[in-house]
């Protein structure tokens, strides 16, 4: 029996055990077959194709139990979701929001109770036939979240999620989030992506954000997948007229990661602000490809990326601003900067501007450099150790991105995670 046949049978069995709709199981099996025909995605200067990044294991139903020690680390607020592997450990939503029609539910519940959203939006912002990794994801998704905010509803308190990969088993982690902000709605969403366990695993995480006309979405993430997890993270926004998405992403992962972060400014006056901070340590490689495509007139797309590399690690920032013909008055700006703390580390900052129309505004800035030794000497002359002095310089370097993040809570979360990541990275020297 071929591996493909085994995977297909596993998908059918998974659908039966979870009672998912037949149409979705059929979509899975079709995606599995088509995946073999597609090419892997290509990202400038990100050499990842020899990594174990493809989703190849047959899916199975696993009842994951969140360890008490891990549960104790989680800050429980109102409007929170905690998922451990395929299992939803906690889901709380303010009854007032429910009364207004706000929907927050896990993936299996969404398939059974709100299939209309899955049918309309699943793999629509990110097309599954774009590349093999997307199609494999569509076939093998086993967990996730649906968030729907109705027209004119303002969610004042942030929605917070904790998605914890169960790496105590060797099962692939294939997770999907659909966030739909209807006309003139507003929502803030904070996503925490973590790993529990040390098995060598593959993660495929896709987030699709649909911002309808006049809506405003604040999307923030703090990602720290484990050192033995090889991950493909794909987050994409689809923005209609006068919609806005503020992306704030902290890439604090310990393993090899490809991050593909895109915003499609479809409607006139749509606006995407993308802010990324990243720290690479040890021997890990993080490749981050951030793109904004201006389709609409007077649309605005800004990218701000700052990263730090220690030890023998690598970090690649690709910033792509693409103004499509007909997008009069569009604005595409980007800044990517990498700070190196080791002569053995490798950093790249690659700005790409593709301008297909006149009467637009576009610009870029990029740099890769080492720590200013004068700054270090000054701080050390005041009695600070080299490690603490380096951390202060790094925090100053990342400061422009952190202070530009619109949420104070997210600033604090990222600041704490950066400190922990830097301490761990300096211990690895």
pLDDT, tens digit, 9 for 90 and up, residues 314-351: 999 999 999 999 999 999 999 999 999 888 999 999 99
Exposure class string for 38-61: b at 16+ Cβ within 10 A, else e: beebebeebebeebebbbebbbee
Q: How confident is the model at residue 107 (pLDDT cuts 50, 70, 90)?
A: very high
Q: How confident is the model at residue 378 (pLDDT cuts 50, 70, 90)?
A: confident
- The pTM score is 0.95
Higher pLDDT, 341 or 301: 301
| Mean local confidence (pLDDT), 351-372 | 92
Higher pLDDT, 391 or 4: 391
- Return the pLDDT at 416: 84
Structural domain spans, the chain: 3-371
- Give the strands of the sheet with 271-280, arranged side by side: 87-92, 80-84, 159-166, 186-196, 216-224, 244-251, 271-280, 300-309, 331-340, 361-370
Exposed, middle or buried, 319 (CB in 10 Å: 0-12/13-18/19+)?
Answer: buried
What is the percent of the chain where pLDDT is above 90? 78
- Return the pLDDT at 412: 84
Q: How confident is the model at residue 247 (pLDDT cuts 50, 70, 90)?
A: very high
State yes or no: pLDDT of 427 exceeds 80. no
Pairwise CA distance, residues 125 & 142, whole Å: 19
State yes or no: pLDDT of 286 exceeds 80. yes
Exposed, middle or buried, 380 (CB in 10 Å: 0-12/13-18/19+)?
Answer: middle
CB-CB contact of 218 with 190 (8 Å): no
Pairwise CA distance, residues 234 & 132, whole Å: 13
- Return the pLDDT at 405: 80
- Return the pLDDT at 4: 67
| Mean local confidence (pLDDT), 369-375 | 82
State yes or no: pLDDT of 2 exceeds 80. no
CB-CB contact of 304 with 317 (8 Å): no
Tokens 């600041």 identify what position? 415
Pairwise CA distance, residues 151 & 314, whole Å: 43
- Return the pLDDT at 374: 82
Pairwise CA distance, residues 251 & 274, whole Å: 13
- Return the pLDDT at 372: 77
CB-CB contact of 392 with 406 (8 Å): no
Q: Which two tokens stand for residue 225?
A: 């997948």
Pairwise CA distance, residues 121 & 270, whole Å: 19
Cα-Cα-Cα-Cα dihedral sign, residues 93, 95, 98, 100: negative
Q: Which two tokens stand for residue 283?
A: 């021997």
Q: How confident is the model at residue 74 (pLDDT cuts 50, 70, 90)?
A: confident
- Return the pLDDT at 425: 67
| Mean local confidence (pLDDT), 77-91 | 93
Helix axis angle for 386-404 and 373-381, nearest 10°, is 120
State yes or no: pLDDT of 421 exceeds 90. no
Q: Average pLDDT, whole number, for the chain?
A: 93
State yes or no: pLDDT of 112 exceeds 90. yes
Q: What is the pLDDT of residues 86-98, one digit of tens each?
A: 999 999 999 999 9
- Return the pLDDT at 72: 77
């Amino acid at each position: 029996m071929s591996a493909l046949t085994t995977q297909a049978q596993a998908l059918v069995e998974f659908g039966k055990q979870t009672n998912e709709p037949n149409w979705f199981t059929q979509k899975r099996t079709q995606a599995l077959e088509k995946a073999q025909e597609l090419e892997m995605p290509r990202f400038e200067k990100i050499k990842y194709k020899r990594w174990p990044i493809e989703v190849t294991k047959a899916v199975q139903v696993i009842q994951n139990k969140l360890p008490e020690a891990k549960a104790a680390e989680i800050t429980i607020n109102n409007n929170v979701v905690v998922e451990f592997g395929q299992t939803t450990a906690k889901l709380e939503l303010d009854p007032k929001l429910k009364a207004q029609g706000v929907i927050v539910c896990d993936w299996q519940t969404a398939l059974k109770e709100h299939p209309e959203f899955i049918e309309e939006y699943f793999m629509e912002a990110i097309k599954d036939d774009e590349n093999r990794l997307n199609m494999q994801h569509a076939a093998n998704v086993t967990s996730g979240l649906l968030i729907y905010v109705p027209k004119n509803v303002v969610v004042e308190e942030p929605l917070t999620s904790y998605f914890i990969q169960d790496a105590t088993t060797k099962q692939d982690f294939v997770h999907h989030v659909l966030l739909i902000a209807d006309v003139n709605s507003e929502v803030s969403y904070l996503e925490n992506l973590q790993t529990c366990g040390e098995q060598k695993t593959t993660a495929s995480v896709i987030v699709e954000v649909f911002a309808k006309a006049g809506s405003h979405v604040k999307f923030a993430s703090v990602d720290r997948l484990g050192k033995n997890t090889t991950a493909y993270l794909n987050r994409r926004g689809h923005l209609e007229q006068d919609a806005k998405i503020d992306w704030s992403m902290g890439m604090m992962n310990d393993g090899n990661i490809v991050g593909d972060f895109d915003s499609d400014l479809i409607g006139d006056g749509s606006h995407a602000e993308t802010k990324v901070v990243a720290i690479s340590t040890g021997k890990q490689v993080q490749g981050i490809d951030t793109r904004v495509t201006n389709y609409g007139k007077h649309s605005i797309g800004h990218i701000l990326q700052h990263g730090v590399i220690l030890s023998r690690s690598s970090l690649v920032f690709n910033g792509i601003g693409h103004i499509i013909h007909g997008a009069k008055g569009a604005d595409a700006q980007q800044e990517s900067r990498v700070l190196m703390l080791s002569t053995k580390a490798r950093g790249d900052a690659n700005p790409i501007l593709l301008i297909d129309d006149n009467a637009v505004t576009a610009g870029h800035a990029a740099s890769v450099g080492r720590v200013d030794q004068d700054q270090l000497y000054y701080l050390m002359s005041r009695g600070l150790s080299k490690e603490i002095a380096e951390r202060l310089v790094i925090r100053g370097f990342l400061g422009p991105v952190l202070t530009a993040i619109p949420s104070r809570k997210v600033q604090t979360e990222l600041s704490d995670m950066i400190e922990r990541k830097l301490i761990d990275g300096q211990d690895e020297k």
